[in-house]
């Protein structure tokens, strides 16, 4: 009985880990210029990603396009790579 319980637990852990590996998002493609990013994802909006803070800023926010630790990326790529939207800095 004890071995079957351990086997069941091991199978559950293996299934969980297999599911997590599929949850990894799209690859993040950073661009130096805004128009390059817009050509990469014409149906999506372009955001400024601050790598150090782990947040992205939309066009119209105060820190959009500012800083040395950032890059332009597609919004859906940033979201799927688990970067968070900056709530502060809207005009």
d(CA 56, CA 47): 6
Residue 9 lies in a domain: no
Residue 32 lies in a domain: yes
Residue 40 lies in a domain: yes
pLDDT band at 20 (very low <50, low <70, confident <90, very high): very low
pLDDT exceeds cutoff 90 at 4: no
d(CA 62, CA 31): 19
Number of H helices, E strands in the chain: 3, 4
If you average pLDDT over every residue of the chain, what do you get? Answer: 79
Residue 12 lies in a domain: no
Q: Which domain holds residue 44?
A: 25-91
Q: How many domains does the chain divide into? A: 1
DSSP H stretches of helix in 23-88: 34-40, 75-80
Residue 11 lies in a domain: no
40 close to 74: Cβ distance less than 8 angstroms: yes
Each residue's pLDDT tens digit, 51-91? 999 999 999 999 999 988 999 999 999 999 999 999 876 55
Q: What is the pTM of this model?
A: 0.67
- Retrieve residue 10's tokens: 């091991």
Question: What is the reported pLDDT for 26?
Answer: 65
């Amino acid at each position: 009985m004890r071995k079957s319980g351990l086997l069941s637990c091991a199978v559950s852990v293996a299934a969980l880990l297999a599911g997590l590996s599929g949850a990894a998002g799209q690859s993040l493609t950073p661009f130096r210029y805004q128009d390059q990013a817009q050509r990469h994802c014409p149906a999506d909006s372009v955001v400024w990603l601050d790598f150090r803070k782990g947040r992205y800023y939309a066009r119209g926010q105060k820190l959009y396009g500012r800083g040395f630790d950032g890059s332009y990326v597609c919004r859906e790529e940033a979201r799927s790579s688990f970067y968070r939207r900056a709530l502060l800095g809207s005009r």
